[in-house]
Structure 1
Amino acid sequence: MINKIKLEQLSAILDVLKLAEKLKFELRHSWLSNGRQESVAEHTWRMSLMAVLIEPLLEQKVDLAHLLKMIIIHDLVEAEAGDVSVLDQIRNPEIKKIKQQNEEKAILRIRELLTASNGQEIYDLFYEFEEKKTFEAKVANAIDKLEVQLQHNHADISTWEEIEYDLSFVIGKHVQFDQTFVMLKDLIEKQASQKLEGAGLNVSEIRNRAIATFS
């Protein structure tokens, strides 16, 4: 009987892993330094690495295992719902609502698939990230935002849309809870400034416009 239950649990896990494989070819808006478009799985991997590297420097103790679980889970829904660019959501708020609805359906399905094992934990981790109330969720959110900008910094400036010039300077609100993240944000923002200046753009003008538009 025990083996039968475990076999059912493992079969369900294989179903979720089959679903998750889509993240290897679900493409994001970001581009890589070699000119290839980034996959969701690649974004999640580097977020995880960032968590491991930054964890010893945080001012408050973080549950690293819990943090990594949250990071790995947070975009799993995109295997079903697809990745929706933040730029599209800014341009059309209705798209954001549709995205939330599709992701809610996806996480419910994943919870159902894993009912016999840790489906509820996966579901709770997803919403913990979304609500951004716990320290681990705030850390995960900060890493998410910083990794996106870092990837933009690595990509050729020709892949940036004009609105992304502005978005380089609005990450501050996501990192204020920990000085380590403030310092890291400043370093990443400096990289973005240098990239924009290298393209002959007026960084002061862009920064002021971003503050006026997104504050």
Structure 2
Amino acid sequence: MTTEPTRLARQLAFLSEADRLKSVVRANALMDGSRRENAAEHSWHLALWALVFAAPPAAIHMALLHDIVEIDAGDHPIHLPQDYAAIAVKERAAADRLYALLPDDQNLRFRAIWEAFEAGTSDAARAARMLDTAQPLMQELGNAAQTEVDRDIIRSLLATGRPAILADDWRDLYTYALGLLDHSGFRLDADTSARLRFLAEADRLKTKLRATTLFDGSRRENSAEHSWHLALFALTLSEHAVRPVDIHRVVAMLLIHDLVEIDAGDQPIHTAAADAGVKDAAERAAAIRLFGLLPEPQGDTLHALWQEFEAAVSDDAIFAKALDRVQPVMANLATGGGTWPTYNVTPDQLQTRVGAKVERGAPAVWAALKPQIDLWFHDRQGN
């Protein structure tokens, strides 16, 4: 007799499979020119753009989900000839497989979000698609390693490619982009300029490596793709919060929670430095600098949201903090213990530093993982 996976088990299986988006490489380079970005960190950056430019919450959800099909279908650079009919078939098949990992109701809901983005007919979808055009464009224009060939490609795209729609949808940004190519000196309004500076600075989070690896163990995870994964955790697992939460606030918290690592770096939770709290002052200073790049009211609002996450007192923050603790546990379980042997983590330490915080915000999630955790430590002690 076979046993059907529980609802939570299906949700966790989807989130584990979603980790593979971190290995899908896109044509865009990071703004420092060091490498090409992946689809997960792009999805995080796009969601952050949507947050900063006050797109509807539904547009943020679209940003988080829109590229998951690329796990199976791959990325298709817009500056190269493509068979878009064939791509659509591949992406629909990918959606059939990937979203069906979820419980039936979430399969329908997440699939509908993706299809709404693809259709581009709702206000939220139009906003998400416009930002999905603008964000890679501005990232490429800010690429420190940009070549004349790259600039020619951008010119061509602005003339006849997908970014050409910005001439109607976001005329000032379109003119500004052309100005960066021909040095015309066109200036944006102060608030838009401030938001673009903040979002360009945020690109640096893609270079901040964490101790935790991807679920396949192939490399260390960076803080931008980790933030995307956590926002997806929130969308998927919100029903398991110990008390009802405002999912839009939780997603926003998780999109920004690690931005301070641009200045302060990542401090693994199982290190002595993390125990001593030596990172706190550096992170507070980073928050003041980074959120201070935004127009003052907006910067103050996001700074306060980051502080709420750090304090972990509100229901929203308690749940967000629980997800921030549990995702690395899943990565470690997927990789034979991951970083636990490196830091000589004991069962008591894991329970105190991680388990207690997850149980405070999402006890059912910890209960679902606990048998696997106990088995790993049992087997290790047996060796």
Deviation at 1:65, TM superposition (A): 0.7
Is 1:184–2:365 an aligned residue pair? Answer: yes
1:1-215 superposed matches below 5 A: 7-32=189-214, 33-58=216-241, 60-89=243-272, 93=276, 96-97=277-278, 99-157=279-337, 159-160=339-340, 161-166=342-347, 167-170=349-352, 171-177=354-360, 181-198=362-379, 200-202=380-382
Deviation string for 1:28-77 (max 9, x for gaps)?
01112233111111221111111111113435321111111111111111
Q: 1:163 is paired with a residue of what secondary structure?
A: coil
The alignment covers a number of residue pairs equal to 195
Quick check: which has more Rg, 1 or 2? 2
The amino acid that maps onto 1:45 is W
**TM-score, normalized by length of structure 2?**
0.46
**2:355 and 2:337 mapped to 1: Cα distance?**
22
Contact 2:209/2:266 (<8 A) preserved: yes
Task: Identify unmatched segments of 5+ residues in structure 2.
Answer: 1-171, 173-185
Deviation string for 1:146-176 (max 9, x for gaps)?
1121121122436432533434333332144
- As a proportion of its length, which structure holds more helix? 1
Change in CA separation of 1:60 and 1:5 when aligned onto 2, cut-off 3 Å? farther
Deviation at 1:115, TM superposition (A): 3.0
Contact 2:264/2:283 (<8 A) preserved: yes
Change in CA separation of 1:92 and 1:134 when aligned onto 2, cut-off 3 Å? closer
Q: Which stretch of the first structure deviates more once superposed, 137-146 or 189-198?
A: 189-198
Change in CA separation of 1:62 and 1:153 when aligned onto 2, cut-off 3 Å? same
Change in CA separation of 1:192 and 1:177 when aligned onto 2, cut-off 3 Å? closer
Contact 2:240/2:364 (<8 A) preserved: no
**2:324 and 2:198 mapped to 1: Cα distance?**
23
The amino acid that maps onto 1:37 is R
Change in CA separation of 1:148 and 1:158 when aligned onto 2, cut-off 3 Å? closer
Change in CA separation of 1:56 and 1:26 when aligned onto 2, cut-off 3 Å? same
Change in CA separation of 1:123 and 1:90 when aligned onto 2, cut-off 3 Å? same
Deviation at 1:183, TM superposition (A): 2.0
Contact 1:35/1:155 (<8 A) preserved: no
**TM-score, normalized by length of structure 1?**
0.79
Q: CA RMSD in A?
A: 2.6
Deviation at 1:141, TM superposition (A): 0.8
Deviation at 1:91, TM superposition (A): 7.3
Contact 2:194/2:294 (<8 A) preserved: yes
Contact 2:293/2:299 (<8 A) preserved: yes
In the TM superposition, structure 1's runs of 4+ consecutive aligned residues that sit over 6 Å from their partners are 3-6
Change in CA separation of 1:82 and 1:59 when aligned onto 2, cut-off 3 Å? closer
**1:91 and 1:125 mapped to 2: Cα distance?**
22
**1:77 and 1:189 mapped to 2: Cα distance?**
31
Task: Identify unmatched segments of 5+ residues in structure 1.
Answer: 204-215
Deviation at 1:6, TM superposition (A): 6.8
Deviation at 1:27, TM superposition (A): 0.4
Deviation string for 1:164-206 (max 9, x for gaps)?
343433333214445xx222102222222333444x4249xxx
Change in CA separation of 1:134 and 1:114 when aligned onto 2, cut-off 3 Å? same
